Structure 1
Amino acid sequence: MEWFQSLDAVYQALIATLFTWFVTALGASVVFLFKTIHKTILNGMMGFAAGVMIAASVWSLLIPSIEMSQSLNVKEYVPALIGFLLGGAFLWIFDQIIPHLHIGEDRSEAEGVPTSLHRSILLVFAITLHNIPEGLAVGIAFGAVAGGAEGATLAGAIALAIGMAIQNFPEGASVSLPLRRDGFSRMKSFMYGQASAIVEPIAGVIGALLVVTITPIQPYALAFAAGAMIYVVVEELIPEAQRNSNTDIATIGCMLGFAVMMTLDVALG
């Protein structure tokens, strides 16, 4: 752990987000063992991912944002409120621009600008889109620690990275398995699945650089990442998890994911 603590925040963020990408690749690798997975299990996994992201948004991002704001000459809730809404607006804009297709939808239901891209590419774009705020969140968390932000701890940033990695496993599987079911080879399905998380290290480095370079934006940046993640949860993960009739499994998965992430943050942070 000492060697990790001695690293610059940007390198810490890079290593942490490379780890979250690696776990996505592990999830995508299940395609080498199975050609398909029962929809009930997939719903539970997506619900779990949603629960982790909700808890991370509250415990790892919004609460620290409010704590940091206490030393600023503004109402302590203002940076969190502004950042949160801007994060949601950021994802909404990207959602309108980037062509993508949610899991379980027909090609005709693709969102974003019209395109002739293959269904598989649109699926990857959908997961890639919501990996951006995950990478940003981890990078911002490490950057805030380096910037000496009140309430920000290295253990808390590590806990956030672990939580994001845990929920990335079902995300990787949720891309590779549908592609395999559509007739893609195991290797090609795996490559598409892991590729959906390549954006995380990029976003993580950008997030760390921003908050280290411009320290006053730290509380806004944390809330921004939270808003972006909540947008993803409500717009994509929960609807996908509730798509089939057995919604109880998705709900239980969401609660378990929330509990795991909350425990990680409180115990380690």
Structure 2
Amino acid sequence: MNDVLIGSFISAMSTGLGAVPILFMRKMSHKLRDILLAYAAGIMTSASVYNLIPEALGHSNLLVLTLGLLLGSIVLLVMEMYIPHTDIDNSHFQIEAKAFLIIAAITLHNLPEGLSVGVSYASDTQNLGNLIAFSIGLQNAPEGFLVALFLVHQNIGRFKALGIATLTGAVEIVTSLLGYYLSTWVTGLVPYGLAFAAGAMMFIVYKELIPESHGDGNQRAATFSFIMGLLTMIALTEWF
């Protein structure tokens, strides 16, 4: 129980930690942003393919893995369809409405990530929860910075922007505990949960992180950053 609390807290608060530089700087270059997003994509891909999917298969079979992966992807797809997902660089909305949409969208998109962390801690595999919490936390950090940067550009105070960005990630603690308790109480739910987490993470990688990291002409740098993210997670898996 203590492990899931600590892991989910660190993962969630990475959003706020990533937003801290907003207190000292005004903007991030497109190239650095793309490199960070691609690195997070590599981390999450490796966590899904080399940790979550083999673990789900080890606890069940191909049918369970397929159902879980598809369910995780479909849930994220439905969220994409019905939750406003406004580009941070888009300026067609009123400032107040746009700020609300960004905050709501980021907060709701963090819910499945928290579930991923909780379900991973419910698994019998040692350190799987820590690895998934680490991968989600790395993805949250640049996201927190971008949200805070956007809010500052909408004339919201820097400390207030930092606080709001932190809160968008804090919801992961709640859903992490929910995923953990559901997986420990319901027999046979763990492999479905692991596969669900993998599907949700891969949807985020392919739908969000990779396209965003390749949209500003920095494809080569982003590609090598993605590979470094893969290698980082593989190395952590081998070491721990």
Residues 36 and 180, structure 1, Cα contact 8 Å, conserved in 2? no
Q: Which one-letter code corresponds to 1:122 in the other structure?
A: L
Counterpart-to-counterpart distance in 2, 1:63 and 1:217:
16
Q: Secondary structure at the match of 1:165?
A: helix
- Map 1:169-248 → 2, pairs under 5 A: 169-248=141-220
SS of alignment partner, residue 35 of structure 1: coil
Match of 1:88 in 2: 73
Q: Using the TM superposition, give the Cα deviation of residue 20 of structure 1 relative to its aligned residue in structure 2, in angstroms.
A: 1.1
Distance 1:225 1:14, change over 3 A: same
Aligned residues: 240
Task: State whether structure 2 residue 112 is matched by structure 1 residue 129.
Answer: no
CA distance in 2, matches of 1:225, 1:189: 29
Distance 1:30 1:226 in 2: 30
Q: Give the aligned residue type for 1:30.
A: P
Offset, 1:40: 0.8
Aligned pairs for 1:1-269 within 5 A: 8=1, 11-69=2-60, 76-107=61-92, 118-145=97-124, 152-153=125-126, 155-268=127-240
Query: Counterpart in 2 of 1:111?
Result: none
The amino acid of 1:12's aligned partner reads: D
Structure 1, residues 131-166: CA drift from partner, whole Å, max 9, x if none? 222211110011123xxxxxx22x222122222223
Which amino acid is the alignment partner of residue 185 of structure 1?
G
- Work out whether residues 44 and 241 of structure 1, in 8 Å CA contact, stay in contact via their aligned partners in 2: yes
Identity of counterpart residues, as a percentage?
Answer: 31
Deviation at 1:116, TM superposition (A): 9.7
Query: SS where residue 47 of structure 2 aligns?
Result: helix
Gaps of 5+ in 2: none
Question: What is the CA–CA distance in structure 2 between the aligned matches of 1:249 and 1:105, rounded to whole Å?
Answer: 24
- Residue identity matched to 2:88: I
Q: What secondary structure sits across from 1:60 in the alignment? A: helix
How has the CA–CA distance of structure 1 residues 35 and 212 changed in structure 2, closer, same or farther, with 3 Å as cutoff?
Answer: same
The gaps in structure 1 that reach 5 residues or longer are 1-7, 70-75, 109-114, 146-151
Higher helix share: 2
Change (3 A) 1:127 1:248: farther
Q: Give the superposition deviation at 1:17.
A: 0.8
In structure 2, the residue matched to 1:3 is: none
Moved more, 247-256 or 203-212: 247-256
TM-score by length of 2: 0.92
Residues 185 and 212 from structure 1, CA distance in 2 versus in 1: closer, same or farther, beyond 3 angstroms?
A: same
Q: Distance in 2 between matches of 1:105 and 1:60?
A: 36
**Cα contact 1:179–1:189 (8 A) shared by 2:** yes
TM-score, L = length of structure 1: 0.82
* Separation in 1, partners of 2:228, 2:108: 24
Rounded to whole Å, the distance in 2 between the matches of 1:169 and 1:178 is: 14
RMSD of aligned alpha carbons: 2.0
1:89 offset after TM fit, Å? 0.5
